[in-house]
Structure 1
Amino acid sequence: MQDEKNGEYVEALARGLAVIEAFDDQNPEMTLTELARKVDMSPATVRRNLHTLEALGFVRRNNKHFLLAPRILTLGSAYLKAVRVDEAIMPELYRITELFGDAANVGVLDGPHVLYIAHLSEARASRRMASIGVTYPAYATSMGRVLLAYLPEEELGGYFRKLEPHKLTDVTVTDLETLRAILGEVRTNGYSITVDQLDYGITALAVPVKDNAGRVVAAVNTSGYSPRLKPDDLLEQRLAEMQVAAARISTLLMRYPALLHSLAPH
């Protein structure tokens, strides 16, 4: 993230994006007052942003409530089309789901979260599911742990200094020392397995995706239903193919420089 004190930083744009990002599954519609409270801005500032976003077609109003309009999807789809995610990543996700069923994903770090940039699922079940653009706490996901494990020590230390983990299930690991030890094992082993960490019923295996300089730029995972997926079976049956998938995605990234540059560490 750019320094906010930099003379090139446009605060008005940052505020507009903050207003957009404030809407989520818990707050799909908000009044001006509610929105101002959530983004910690004055009602006058939020009103101007909402007026602009409404004029551009990104926000609508329902009586006194504001909500995102379908046109907001063009912002995310522009990225997917520009960097050609379908060509660079999706072939391997199709191959993985054809081999094992269940779901396959590719994610990157977005602050303290893992952000899903590609997703394919055989079927949707009654448990928390991934989709493109969704974010989850990195400490509780297989891909997040892979991405954290390969961070430079200074960045990882900064992550832990700010981290306040919460129990998402009864077995979610929240002890900082235990999490650090787990990340050490992930880096040593080259993969991460999580069971019921993010939500009940989710078992996942993730491996790193590297660029031509050997830097980890993303992670790819395979996930399924915990009661029928044991960690040892996951390793035996899927690890080798997941490593193949990661290597193939790494190779494909060389053909799509826009995508590679967008994933490269800052």
Structure 2
Amino acid sequence: MTQIHEKPAEFVEALAKGIAILEAFDAANPEMTLSEVARRVGLTPAAARRSLMTLETLGYIGRRDKRFHLRPKLMALGSAFYFSARIDEILQEDLRGIVEQFGDASSVGTLDGNDVIYVAHHSVQRARRAAAVPGARYPAYATSMGRVLLAGLSDDNLDAYLRTCQPKPLTSRTCTDPAALRDEIMGARTNGYAITVDQLDYGITALAVPVRDPGGAVVAALNTSGYTGMVTPELLLKERLPALREAASHIAYQLTRYPTLRSVLSG
């Protein structure tokens, strides 16, 4: 869910509550009762009911019996972002080029709180695995893109992340030790890339590199991924790293031409 670090005087609590309710629905909670929504978001039943009724009236939430669910109209909000930032025009070309050259999948993501959120994705993979569709979000510590993005933080912000992050073992190979995780992130900062094997889900081996704005700050990450066992870290570094860095450089150049996308990625 969206993390709020400081509330300005103009902060609208009612709007924040409504957005929190929309974010509460996910694959594990596709339908919820009023009490379940209230408990998950941390609201009183009365406050949750007012927000749910408003969202239902606007067409973003539906109801079946006493259980609420999201409605397709919500996708229009994501589409507005996708088209206003010109994602297809600016990012998809490079992702398609990587996939056409190497197969598998490629994504662009950016940091949102303690998570990496996927902004663009292209894939020829069909097997069931952790979804990487635009809008998907995963713990930064468990993904190659997340580690590259964390490596781009200032030392103070990285220290704050490591103090507050509570890594959970998503697989038996997930790095959950804070000291070891710091070493991985610092290695990504030194090397200019990060590799993960079965960290987020079994069967995912991924390589990511940073995308920098004109000032050199890391604003996004670009990855390529394949099936563990069919690709190895050594193979990714030898065959894909140069092409991935070239694509990241091209995306960085595009950011100088499209300031809206640059603003979107940099927050």
- Taking structure 2 as the reference length, the TM-score comes to 0.97
Residue pair 1:108, 1:114 contacting (<8 A) in 2 also: yes
> 1:98-137 counterparts in 2 under 5 A?
98-137=100-139
Q: TM-score scaled by structure 1?
A: 0.97
1:4-83 mapped onto 2 (5 Å cutoff):
4=7, 6-83=8-85
Matching residue within 240, 251, 254 for 2:253: 251
**Partners in 2 of 1:229 and 1:135 — Cα distance?**
24
SS in structure 2 of the partner of residue 26 of structure 1:
coil
- Which of 162, 179, 182 aligns to 2:181? It is 179
Q: Residue type of the partner of 2:164?
A: K
Equivalent in the alignment of 1:164: 166
Q: Is the 8 A contact 1:2 1:9 kept in 2?
A: no
Question: 1:254–1:260: 8 Å Cα contact kept in structure 2?
Answer: yes
Whole-Å Cα distance in 2 between the matches of residues 27 and 235 of structure 1? 38
Distance in 2 between the 1:260 and 1:55 partners?
Answer: 35
Are the counterparts in 2 of residues 192 and 207 from structure 1 also a CA contact under 8 Å?
yes
> 2:209 is matched with which residue: 203, 207, 210?
207
Which of 3, 6, 11 is the aligned partner of 1:3? Answer: 6
Aligned counterpart, 2:229? 227
AA in 1 matched with 2:35: T
Rounded to whole Å, the distance in 2 between the matches of 1:63 and 1:21 is 21
Which whole-Å CA distance do the structure 2 matches of 1:23 and 1:129 have between them? 16
Among all aligned residue pairs of Structure 1 and Structure 2, give the percentage whose two residues are the same amino acid: 53
Measure, in 2, the Cα distance between the counterparts of 1:229 and 1:8.
50
**Residues 133-148 of structure 1: pairs in structure 2 closer than 5 A:** 133-148=135-150
Contact 1:3 1:9 (C-alpha < 8 Å) held by counterparts: no
Residues 1-27 of structure 1 deviation map (CA, whole Å, 9 limit, x = unaligned): 5622x2111111100100100000000
The SS at the match of 2:80 is helix
- Partner SS, residue 254 of structure 1: helix
> Conserved in 2, the CA contact under 8 Å of 1:208 and 1:220?
yes
TM superposition shift of 1:124: 1.8
Distance 1:104 1:162 in 2: 29
| Cα deviation digits, residues 70-105 of structure 1 (max 9, x gap) | 000011111111110111111000000000000000
Specify the SS of the correspondent of 2:257: coil
| Structure 2 Cα separation of the partners of residues 3 and 233 of structure 1 | 44
Q: Secondary structure at the match of 2:261?
A: helix
**Which sits farther off after the overlay, 236-245 or 154-163?**
154-163
The one-letter code of the counterpart of 2:111 is: L
* TM alignment of 1:82-93, pairs within 5 A: 82-93=84-95
Q: CA separation in 2, counterparts of 1:129 and 1:59?
A: 23
Q: Which runs of 5+ in 1 are unaligned?
A: none
- Partner SS for 1:206: strand
2:33 is aligned with what amino acid?
A: T
Contact 1:253 1:260 in 2 (8 A): yes
Q: Does 1:264 align with 2:266?
A: yes
Please list every run of 5 or more consecutive structure 2 residues that lacks an aligned counterpart in the other structure. none
Equivalent residues of 1:112, 1:159 under 8 A apart: yes
Q: How many residues align?
A: 264
